[in-house]
Chains A and B, each alone.
Chain A
Amino acid sequence: MQAFDYVKAKTLEEASALLAEHNGDARPFAGATDLLIRIERGFLHPAKMVDIKNLPGFRAINALDNDWLRIGAAVTMNEVVIHRDVESRYPLLAEACQSVASYQLRNRATIGGNICNASPAADSAPALICYGAEAIIHGPQGERRVTVEDFFQGVGQTALERGELLTAIEIPPPPDGAVGRFLKLGRTTVGDISVMNVAVLGWPDENAASGASWRIVLGSVAPTPIRAPQAEKLLAGDTSPAGIEAAARAAADTARPIDDIRASAAYRTDMVRVYTRRGVEHVLAELNY
């Protein structure tokens, strides 16, 4: 592997300074499951790795006073999956994180690295977007926050500016009675990167004609994870079998996939229809209203 320096940053200030000083040649380093592969393949040539795993709070999951849940950027996928509050309040996120790669990899892969890497196939993203999660960013100008939906700007592109770091992800309380389902299509049953995925969240809502409101987020079918607002609207109106099929078609219409080594665009689009329908049917069967 090409040579680089490695530093374990101890404070946020030190990390920001190192990242700024190296003018883009220094990279935040978390679980390294994306980074080292891209270096090995010659796509990246960083001069310095700034390990952010030991920064205060980066490995912690905390319930906040406002009832939000804060997940440190360097919390691993396995740590997310087994956390009591995630399991009880945000099971859709647990399901998504559990679907990443293998057990070994999930001991290293962090949730922050997953969204900072900004792959359209980042499996944690659709669930985070369903829950309305926000990315907490630290930079030379202090702290700011953006929704995870807006954090993704394009393939491999995030809202982070030079010298900025993701410190945590914060998730608002889920809607009362919410039920979620994450469905992922890979080339193998378990453990592969998503050919496409869909996260569905439904919750009882007496203002909705169908009795429930919905969030549908699609992964790996556009440059970023995307919501399917038309499908959400149709489901709020009608969740009869015909209504679900119409919503599933609307979700497929929202998808803008490409042909690549994992699947053709046409196949992905049709699988959006099928997986959205299955996800909605699953949620509907579990919703109580």
Chain B
Amino acid sequence: MKHDINLTVNGELYNLTVESHHTLLTILREQLVLTSVKNGCSEGECGACTVLFDGKPVNSCLVLGAEADGHEIVTAEGLTINGQLAPIQQTMIDLGGTQCGYCTPGIVMASFALLERNPNPTEQEIREGLVGNLCRCTGYTRIVDAVREAARLQRTDMTL
């Protein structure tokens, strides 16, 4: 069964025809070629497919594309505005929060959402906020550092 859907992705409106059983992850990667969205486990454990759905982080492997009709999606591509990386994207690079890079876009999205609801998280809150994102390379320490630094940058930015 096919569905005609209208959705906003990274600020642009799209009209797509999608199969009922295709996940949002599949639609984003294969129909819109937004390949920052990664397929890790397909089971909601690893978080590599995390995107924002109406501003809230979700595992796009467990959402149907047809559910996104009338909704707004943001992927890691959408956090970069006029070539300017979002603070969390920049600090992940600067502080070595990324190695092989596969989990990085998902971690960036989950961290971005965490900082929206809690601009000044403790280490414990950062770790809890990222429980749904697995990384096999970094050992997490530098990811936590990157989130803390992004939080600091965003706070100083706001007081400027």
Contacts and interface: CB of A to CB of B under 8 A. Distances in A.
A2 B129 CA distance: 32
B70 to A, nearest CB: 10
A36 B56 contact: no
A1 B3 contact: no
Contacts of A222: none
Contact of A40 (B43, B57, B64, B129): B43
A3 interface: yes
B59 A51 contact: no
Contact of A103 (B19, B20, B62, B132): B132
Nearest to A188: B131
A190 B131 contact: yes
A32 B43 CA distance: 11
Contacts of B132: 101-105, 191
Contacts of B64: 6, 32, 49
Contacts, number: 77
A48 B88 CA distance: 40
A256 interface: no
Given A6-B3, A40-B42, A107 B53 contact: yes
Interface in A14-58: 31-33, 36-37, 40, 49, 51
Interface string A48-83: 010100000000000000000000000000100000
Q: Is the interface of B mostly helix, strand, loop or mixed?
A: mixed
Contact of A6 (B20, B56, B58): B20
Interface residues of A, number: 24
A101 B44 contact: yes
Interface string A189-202: 01100000000000
A220 to B, nearest CB: 18
A1 B23 contact: yes
Contacts of B131: 101-103, 190-191
B21 interface: yes
A190 B128 contact: yes
B64 to A, nearest CB: 6
B20 A36 contact: no
Contacts of A31: 62
Contact of B1 (A6, A36, A104, A107): A6
B110 interface: yes
B143 to A, nearest CB: 15
Contacts of A4: 20-21
A101 B46 CA distance: 11
Interface of A: 1-6, 31-33, 36-37, 40, 49, 51, 78, 101-105, 107-108, 190-191
26 contacts: A2-B21, A3-B20, A4-B20, A6-B3, A31-B62, A32-B63, A37-B44, A37-B62, A40-B42, A40-B43, A49-B64, A51-B67, A102-B44, A102-B131, A102-B133, A103-B57, A103-B110, A103-B113, A103-B128, A103-B131, A103-B132, A104-B47, A104-B50, A104-B59, A105-B62, A108-B59
Interface of B: 1, 3, 19-23, 42-44, 47, 50, 53, 56-59, 61-64, 66-67, 110, 113-114, 127-129, 131-133
Closest CB pairs A-B (n = 5) = A102-B132, A191-B131, A6-B20, A5-B1, A104-B132
